[in-house]
Amino acid sequence: MEWQEWLGRSPLGLDLVARWREAGDYRRLLGDEAYRQQMVDLLSRAAPRDCAAAGFGCTRRTDRACREPATCSREPGAGPAGEGRREGPVPGGCDAFYGYYGDDLRIQVSFAARDRHRAVFWADSQGPVRLWVDGVPVGTEHLLATPGYWVGDRFFVVDVAGPDDHPAQRYVLSDLVTAIVSLLIHDADQSSTHLLVPRPDELWTDPRVERHGDVLHVYPDLAARAAGRPDRTLPAA
Assign residue 128 a region (left: φ > 0; alpha: ψ between -120 and 50; beta: otherwise): beta
10-34 pLDDT, tens digit each:
999 999 999 999 999 999 999 999 9
For the chain, which residues score pLDDT lower than 70? 1, 78-84
> Which pLDDT does position 175 carry in this prediction?
81
> Which pLDDT does position 78 carry in this prediction?
56
Task: List, in order, residues 6 or more apart from 60 with CB less than 8 Å away.
Answer: 87, 88, 89, 94
CB contact at 8 A, 154 and 112: yes
Task: List, in order, residues 6 or more apart from 11 with CB less than 8 Å away.
Answer: none
Q: Using CA atoms, how far apart are residues 74 and 49, in angstroms rounded to an integer?
A: 9
Domain locations along the chain? 1-74+85-95
108-126 pLDDT, tens digit each:
999 999 899 999 999 988 7
CA within 13 Å, CB half, 78: 0
